[in-house]
Amino acid sequence: MLLQVEQLSLSLKKDGSYLKILDDVSFSIDKGETLGIVGESGCGKSMTALSIMRLLPDKARLSGKVSLGESEITTLSKKQLEKIRGNKISMIFQDPLTSLNPLHTVGKQISESLMLHTDLSKTERKQRVVDLLKEVGLPRAEELVNEYPHQLSGGMRQRVMIAIAMACNPQLLICDEPTTALDVTVQAQILELMNNLKRTNDMGIIMITHDLGVVAEVCDRVVVMYAGKVVEQGTVEELFAEPKHPYTKGLLQSVPKIGQRKQSLGSIPGTVPSPKNMPSGCRFADRCKEAMDHCKSSQPNTYTVGSNHTVACWLFEAKEMNKVGIT
């Protein structure tokens, strides 16, 4: 097990009171595995990533446990955390232009990460920067070192971000919507690059996305989040072939099929509830076609529906009881 997240809950202070943003989130990821975290915006995907990195505002209340190998991230000091970030865990974001420093050359920005986390000499660093640029498939690596972010295309900038993230051979790479701002062709190339890097470096990847097409392309397993909770998780094969949660089914129906025009896309009517007004029962109840009376009053338990497949929905209560022989 590379990373284990256990019963993670997060509250953030807003207008004088605490709002619960994440509620009892648990999942794990192995070396050499890509785990997708999917859901609409506002479901807590990015907050889960920031909680793992402990990049949270000062007054955030975090409970639960996050362990990376032997070290428990949730109890580390600021100093210890700095050693882990960018070194053992790296993160890349949607918009490389805002994450890159416009005033520094590509080479300097990659080199900074190496300076912070390695003992490489100046010459060694220079060589490593060029190697990294080549590794992420950038042409003219030797010249690129001296160029500035605005001189590059969006796809190239994202490759630079990946090079920075890979600089110290992280064990875990967290990607938050890394291809959302890119056109389809470039997106496909970046995803292929990430697949290759995962294979050659034996690292774990967390891929945060609202796009199930991306999940199908790169992920081994998926965690589906809704309104701060995990509602379903399983292998990509199982989840795509046999989605159980009504929300997952809705998301899958929203994926465009080949030859289908964009405007005929189905999407789930309604919106994600805000943490200010969280329903006391199932959080999806207002949008769920299969909702039953008690869904609105009590939160569903999580049921096991396959060897590595769980779902938090009352529809599976009866089925689970049948399975273990309770009548």
Instruction: Summarize as ranges the residues that interact with Mg ion (CB under 5 A).
Output: 46
CB of 47 to Mg ion, least distance (A): 8
Least distance CB 41 / Mg ion (angstroms): 6
Residue 46 touches which of Mg ion, ligand SF4, none (Cβ within 5-8 Å per kind): Mg ion
Beta strands in 136-228 (DSSP E): 172-176, 204-209, 221-226
Retrieve residue 22's tokens: 């994440």
**CB 297 to ligand SF4: min, Å:** 11
> Which one of Mg ion, ligand SF4, none is in contact with 92 (Cβ closer than 5 to 8 A by kind)?
none
> What is the H or E stretch that residue 218 is in?
helix 212-218
Least distance (Å) between residue 293 CB and Mg ion: 34
Closer to Mg ion by Cβ: residue 132 or 182: 182
Q: Residue 246's binding partner, choosing from ligand SF4, Mg ion, none, with beta-carbon cut-off 5 to 8 A by kind? A: ligand SF4
Q: Provide the minimum distance between the beta carbon of 288 and ligand SF4 in the complex, in angstroms, as a whole number.
A: 3
Question: Contact, 5 vs 28, CB < 8 A?
Answer: yes
Nearest to 144 by CA among 157, 41, 154: 157
- Among 189, 163, 25, 42, smallest CA distance to 106 is for 163
Interaction partner, residue 89 (Mg ion, ligand SF4, none; CB < 5-8 Å by kind): none
Q: How far apart are the first and last CA of the chain?
A: 37
Q: Are 52 and 4 in contact (CB under 8 A)?
A: no
Partner from ligand SF4, Mg ion, none contacting 85, C-beta within 5 to 8 A by type: none
Residue among 94 and 233 whose Cβ is closer to Mg ion: 94
| Pick 211 or 238: Cβ nearer Mg ion | 211
Instruction: Name which of 273 and 300 has its Cβ closer to Mg ion.
Output: 273
With respect to ligand SF4, which residue has the nearer C-beta, 1 or 292? Answer: 292
Q: CB nearer to ligand SF4: give 75 or 297.
A: 297
Interacting partner of 50 out of Mg ion, ligand SF4, none (Cβ under 5 to 8 A depending on kind): none
Shortest Å distance, C-beta 157 to Mg ion: 19
Q: Which is nearer to Mg ion, 152 or 208 (CB)?
A: 208
Closest approach of ligand SF4 to the CB of residue 171, in Å: 35
CB of 302: closest distance to Mg ion in angstroms? 23
Question: Phi and psi for 6 in degrees, rounded to 5?
Answer: -125, 120
Chain-centre distance for alpha carbon 73: 17
Binding site for ligand SF4 (CB under 6 A): 245-246, 282, 284-285, 288, 290-292, 295, 300, 313-315
When CB distances to Mg ion are compared, the closest residue is 46
CA atoms within 13 A of residue 305's CA, in its CB half-sphere: 25
CB-CB contact of 209 with 190 (8 Å)? no
Closer residue to ligand SF4 (CB): 63 or 253? 253
DSSP calls for 57-101: -TT-EEEEEEEETTEEGGG--HHHHHHHBTTTEEEE-S-HHHHS-
The string over 253-282, giving b where at least 16 C-beta atoms fall within 10 Å of a residue's C-beta and e elsewhere, is eeeeeeeeeeeeeeebeeebbebeeeeebb
